Amino acid sequence: MTSTMQRMRRLVGSGMLLGLLALPSMAHAADGLPHEFQGANLVKGQQYYTDLKCAACHAERMMGSTSAMYTRPDRKVHNPKQLLAFTQMCVTQLNHDLFPEEVKDIAAYLNQTYYKFK
Ligand code: HEC
C-alpha cells in the first residue's frame, strides 16, 4: 500500500518536496540561482577568487589542475550550503576576513562555473 503520506515522506526524504516548494519563489528570481546565492555578484566573486589565488593551492594538491578540486568524484560539496561552508573555510584558512556577502559572491561564482546547483 502506498499511502499519500508514505509518498510525501519519501519526497521530503529526497529533498524533492523542498525543491518543489522552492519553485514559485525561484520563478521570481531573475538570475535563476539557488536561494543561497540570490543577489550574489558573480563578477566580484570571480575577482576575489582570482585575487585570493584560490586555484593555486588547489592545483598544487590536484596534480596541477585548477578545477579537479571541484570535479573530483569524491568531492565534498554536494549542495549550495556546503559550497558556502567550504568557501568560508578556505577563506578563513587564508587568513582573509571577508564579509559574508563576499564569501557568497565567491561561492556563487564557483557554483556557476563548476557545481551548477539550481
Ligand atoms: C592553502 C590551500 C588552499 C587555499 C589557498 C584554498 N583552498 Fe579550497 N581547499 C583546499 C583543500 C586542501 C581542499 C580539500 C579539503 C578536503 O578535501 O577536505 C579545498 C576544498 C575546497 C572546496 C570544496 C571542494 C569540494 O570537495 O567540492 C571549495 C569550494 C574551496 N576549497 C574553495 C576555496 C576558495 C573559494 C578559495 C579561495 C578563497 C580556496 N578554496 C583557497 C585548500 C585550499
Same domain? For 23 and 39 the reply is no
What average pLDDT score do residues 87-109 get? 94
Check whether 14 has a pLDDT greater than 60. Answer: no
Does one domain contain both 41 and 83?
A: yes
Q: Which residue among 50, 69, 96, 103 is best mutated to probe the pocket of ligand 1, counting the most ligand atoms within 8 A of its Cβ?
A: 69
d(CA 45, CA 51): 10
Q: Is the Cβ–Cβ distance between 113 and 68 less than 8 Å? A: no
Burial 14-49 (b: 16+ CB within 10 A, else e): eeeeeeeeeeeeeeeeeeebbebbbebbbebbbebb
Mark whether 18 and 39 lie in a shared domain. Answer: no
Q: Is the dihedral of CA 30, 34, 39, 42 positive or negative?
A: negative
What lies within 8 Å, CB to CB, of 37 at 6+ separation is: 80, 104, 107, 108, 111
Tally the domains of the chain.
2
Q: Which residue of 57, 78, 91, 96 sits with most ligand 1 atoms within 8 Å of its CB, as the best mutation to test the pocket?
A: 57
Q: Clarify whether residues 21 and 49 are in a common domain.
A: no
With cut-offs at 50, 70 and 90, classify the pLDDT of residue 33: confident
Residue whose cell numbers read 573555510 = 89
The CB density around residue 117, as the number of other CB atoms within 10 Å, is 20
Window from 12-16, 26-30, 32-36, 91-95 with minimum mean pLDDT: 26-30
Q: Tell me, yes or no, whether 21 and 58 share the same domain.
A: no
Q: Tell how far the Cα of 118 is from the centroid of ligand 1, in angstroms.
A: 21
**pTM of this prediction?**
0.81
Residues 54 and 9 occupy one common structural domain: no
For ligand 1, the distance from its centroid to the CA atom of residue 68, given in whole angstroms, is: 11
User: From the alpha carbon of 78, which atom of ligand 1 is closest?
Assistant: 27
Residue range 21-32, pLDDT digits in tens: 555 444 444 457
